Amino acid sequence: MAVSPSNRHDSYFRHVMSRAADAAAELRPMVPKEVATRLHWDEMELQSGSFVSAELQSRCSDILYRTRYDDREAYLYLLLEHQSSSDPLMAIRLAEYEVAFWRRWLRDNPNARRVPMVFPVVLFCDPDGAPWAAPTDLSEVIDLDDASRAALADYLPRWRYVVDDLAAVLEPVVDQLGPEAKEALMTTAERLEAKGRVEGRVEGRVEGRGEALLELLALRFGPVPADYTQTVHRASIEQLRKWTARVLTANAIQEVFEH
């Protein structure tokens, strides 16, 4: 049976985001700096379970990490959204998922009088490259005119989330290189998925970025010399991001890797 684009995105990004170090590298730039500096990124622990209802599992899936915010227990909740358009009621859905988590947490901690912080992130990858357009604050979903919203500001629920457009790094390059590049990117995702099944382990975001970059380099400049292939395989995710952004404007493969 053919794999749908949404399922391919889901499988690929689950491989990526289920490794704590790679998830941290992707998420840290998306989190407000004043929050990011207080989260313990090196202590992220993947948690089991899901809070997405059965009827919505065809269009989204979720990942939960436990960590600390200063000296307190905290969680990062990642919702992978792979439908074709932004959900205008996403803020309500996220609120439901967070409450469901807190209820589960309270069952395990019956004497608690407070609950841990949960920081929500929506991971979004529209197949057509469209940006996220839904409100990112629960108060914005409530139907009010501007005057009423201002008057009721202190009484409206404020429940914000951030959006990480996972297509933002590669898609501008891929789109301009054409449909062959898009197919190469998806082929890379499928190959990593198959490798993960055979070896029984999750492939990292660094490997995925590196393989995708090598595919793009080959499409742009032809066969990639062995020394550049080795350089890509040894690179950090920050280096891979930088080189990927240069693929489109470089006139020769050497320019991609220039310092």
Output the CA–CA distances (angstroms, integers) from residue 111 to 27, 91, 97, 123, 230, in the order listed: 32, 29, 22, 34, 54
pLDDT of 102 reads 97
pLDDT of 241 reads 74
Chain Cα centroid distance, residue 49: 18
pLDDT of 242 reads 78
CA distance 185 to 171: 10
pLDDT of 67 reads 97
Amino acid in the structure at residue 77: Y
pLDDT digits (tens, 9 = 90+) for 109-150: 999 999 999 999 998 766 566 778 899 999 999 999 999 999
The domains of the chain are located at 5-165, 171-256
Strand partners, 66: 45, 75
pLDDT of 5 reads 40
Predicted TM-score (pTM) of this structure: 0.65
Please name the residues in contact with 68: beta carbons below 8 A apart, sequence gap of 6 or more: 39, 40, 43, 74
pLDDT of 179 reads 60
CA distance 198 to 208: 16
Which residues in the chain show pLDDT less than 70? 1-16, 82-84, 125-129, 166-208, 248, 259
pLDDT of 169 reads 47
